[in-house]
Chains A and B, each alone.
Chain A
């Protein structure tokens, strides 16, 4: 099981666990406020926007070109932004901190 820490707009920390699926699916399964996942995770809606903690970015990796383009639909985009349906859970993500973007 990989542990992922989601931080919501109310500054609550939610420590979640999974060993497969995407970060978006994990968030929806645990009612993380602000992650809607309207398109079901096919990088078409930008309702799964998060900020990855800077120290965890290297482990999470870069957005694909499509994702980077789609991110432009989101608000409050920073260099730490990702669409979390595009991040697959694996042990290399153990303990990463992910903040739900506002907007």
Chain B
């Protein structure tokens, strides 16, 4: 396969794993891995958690050691932006010139959405949180002794917003989270889980305001206020905007690849609508045997899992992406883990284990489809195994905490 060049656009969880997996699968052509971010590729999940709490702006956690790229003969080009794909000339056009390709993997991820709120673009200390630069800016603002951050308003109660809220509150700020929907995590988690996490945040001094939107930000010399739609004014020395993302589909779209608003359309082998162009990770919309034909998932597992599949596809194996999605989040002393997606569940059962642990079991008929666990790794591990093996479960036993989870199989 020599004389065969694979260009990977985006060097984060998806792109980096794709590059190394290609080598593992025996790909012996050239691998060019490009990212506009100048940092050695790093783990994103700690940015809202350990990185903020650790207080050391240099403590990014690398995905791989710098030397690993050379060792695996991966040409890592950082600080280089891909501007377009020339599909007919088979070239990737970058800020530093064109590169001929035989195959391209788009691992372009997503960009935080900034809602059109009056005054937001002029606001002081207003941040999104997606990359190292965002996280370092937040940290610098927290550590700026001339301008103490006492009050923080987080807009949007998704995972990233809530994790940032938990971290900033631990660092001493008075945090208010404003959410448009009825409950926190509405888009991504079940109601019992939301309720548990709402209590957890409140118990740690965070204020949660649901069913309110931000109508304006008013910044003056003296102070900065976030104004809600009911007129409430919240002091905000810092604003974190965490209302979701827009997938980076521009490159694909401009080259005629099929896209949807949620992402770049791929098949179960990560092929896009144009041959020899693939996509993985947060930027994709993909079919899944149990989850539906237009899935979009933003998680490390999804990016890593799809990277593994695309490497197999490019090296001529036929494998289908059918992993059950899994996810984690850490907020205060709550370790949240989920497997499967709550989608299509027609009934859910809650198993409470003490006052700081619970698991939520989602069923579609008799079939277990998803488990969300807080401080309950056994539920997460066994649940994941049972979903994969389609094990039937005794629902009555499951809600009885005196019966061990492993004994709840029918």
Contacts and interface: CB of A to CB of B under 8 A. Distances in A.
Interface residues of A, number: 19
Contacts, number: 48
A70 B381 contact: yes
Q: Is the interface of A mostly helix, strand, loop or mixed?
A: loop
A91 interface: no
B65 A70 contact: no
B45 A31 contact: no
Interface of B: 43, 45-46, 49-50, 61-62, 64-65, 67-68, 71, 300-301, 304, 328, 330, 335, 337, 377-378, 380-382, 384
Q: Point out which of B46, B300, B377 has the most chain A C-beta atoms below 10 A from its C-beta.
A: B377
A42 B65 contact: no
Contact of B335 (A28, A66, A72): A66
A41 B63 CA distance: 11
A58 interface: no
Nearest to A66: B377
Nearest to A41: B61
Interface in A1-15: none
A73 B384 CA distance: 9
B328 A28 contact: no
A31 B67 contact: yes
A72 to B, nearest CB: 5
Nearest to B375: A66
A69 B328 contact: no
Interface string A39-53: 111111100000000
Given A28-B62, A28-B65, A31-B64, A72 B381 contact: yes
Contact of A40 (B61, B337, B382): B61
A96 to B, nearest CB: 21
Contacts of A41: 61
Contact of B377 (A28, A30, A39, A69): A69
A38 interface: yes
A70 B300 contact: no
Given A29-B62, A31-B64, A31-B67, A40 B381 contact: no
